Amino acid sequence: MLVREGIKALIFVCLVALGIPICCGQNIRAVKEDGRGLTIWDTFAHSVGKVLDSSNADVANNQYHLYSDDVQLMKDMGMDAYRFSISWSRIYPNGTGEINQAGIDHYNNLINALLAQGNNDKVKYWITFNEPHTVAVQGYDVGLQAPSRCSILLGAFCRAGNSASEPYTVGHNMLLSHAIVVDIYKKKYKPKQQGSIGITLDSFWYEPATNSSADIQATQRAIDFNLGWFIEPLIVGDYPKSMRSRVGSRLPRFSPAQSNLLKGSFDFIGINHYTTWFAKENTTNIIGVALNDTLADSGTFTFPFVFGKPIPDRANSVWLYIVPHGIRSLMNYIRQKYGNPLVLITENGMDDGNSPLTSIKDALKDKKRIKYHNDYLTNLLAAIKEDGCNVRGYFSWSLLDNWEWGAGFSSRFGLYYVDYNDKLRKRYAKDSVKWFKNFLAS
């Protein structure tokens, strides 16, 4: 069992520092209120065939109106940190130009409601981007997320794009803009505010499908094309060597000045981690010929299980297999390869399905989620206490059931059940809420 002093929590873009060992994250949406402008996700969610259950996120869990109640839910659980994101279309409805004061007021009200439950200053921890790898690959390679650009499925799913180049261009621009923002923050705001700034990267852990040298090398490439793509420029100022050699001229280059700006452009690294997959060398070249994208460039097949080895238990999502030791392995990899930077686990959790045949009473009995968090936290504690990994925060995804991107409402990650049939989106505590409350108090 994780002891309370094992992890000290921080917060997210904004990370409002109320000060706990563990906390939750959440998306916030109220699509047409108080001057909010439209985004690529609004367009995506209203496009036919893009979302699994054909839903949209115009009203997700209604936290825009219920944030005060949700802050109290967190307080009652014993949590005193909250990770939330700023909707820039609420601040700049047209993408640029005049600031929408109603948007500023909303986030001030939310932050003040959080601070009323603690005694710290305003936001002290900032994150520039959440999951740039997901944005680049899902949005511009395979087209399964907004803005749904790709060439591998052109006509069938995407209407425009170039899967061979756009993911790398998008990732490159996100890294450069991250570095610029961090530089501005450190020079202009940090001396007075004394805050911290970082970036959140999503990463599976990968293990070789066999003990062959080819599969071991393929596993390293799988990591390079996932985590390494975005963390290595922040550490050494350039992409992993495997990406440089395999992508070639399609992978943009950093100027010496850009490289210097990137190196060390973080106070902490946020990691979103859920699962572990196996990796095997792609010797067929079939994918490379057919797709010509980031997967083909890696020369690796990745999959959640292999024949001859026990198949891990699975959450609702088809990609999310429950492998608790993966989080320890990933933390040790970061420690050993990248000099043990300060890490916050900014997302970790699992989802249940959303069957209309499941009663609310039964949906609240989430034993699998409790075991998931207990086992992942146990491995994380071992990474900290036994291995010396510099991990200082843990955030559960998520506080509430939510509209989960391309999965829509078919996936429930929340500690609290949200009744989507109720106009106000009433919340019900799952058993995992009681577990976290007891865990934090023990």
Q: Catalytic amino acids?
A: 131, 347
Residue 126 contacts residue 198 (beta carbons within 8 Å): yes
How far apart CA 230 and CA 135 sit, in angstroms, is: 12
**Separation in Å, CA 198 to CA 190, 257, 265, 388:** 13, 20, 7, 21
Contacts for 274 with CB less than 8 Å, ≥ 6 apart: 204, 320, 347, 348, 349, 350
Residue 218 contacts residue 147 (beta carbons within 8 Å): no
Phi, psi of 52 (to 5 degrees): -50, -45
Residues 305-314: contacts with CB within 8 Å, 24+ apart? 305/278, 306/209, 306/210, 306/278, 306/280, 312/276, 313/368
Contacts for 115 with CB less than 8 Å, ≥ 6 apart: 16, 18, 122
Beta bridge partners of 343: 269, 391
Sheet with 205-208: strands ordered across: 205-208, 276-281, 300-303
How far apart CA 78 and CA 66 sit, in angstroms, is: 19
Beta bridge partners of 345: 271, 394
- Of 169, 391, 174, 180, the residue nearest 265 (C-alpha): 180
Tokens read off for 197: 């700034």
Phi, psi of 392 (to 5 degrees): -125, 5
Residue 57 contacts residue 403 (beta carbons within 8 Å): yes
Contacts for 71 with CB less than 8 Å, ≥ 6 apart: 82, 110, 113, 114, 116, 117
Tokens read off for 354: 């959303």
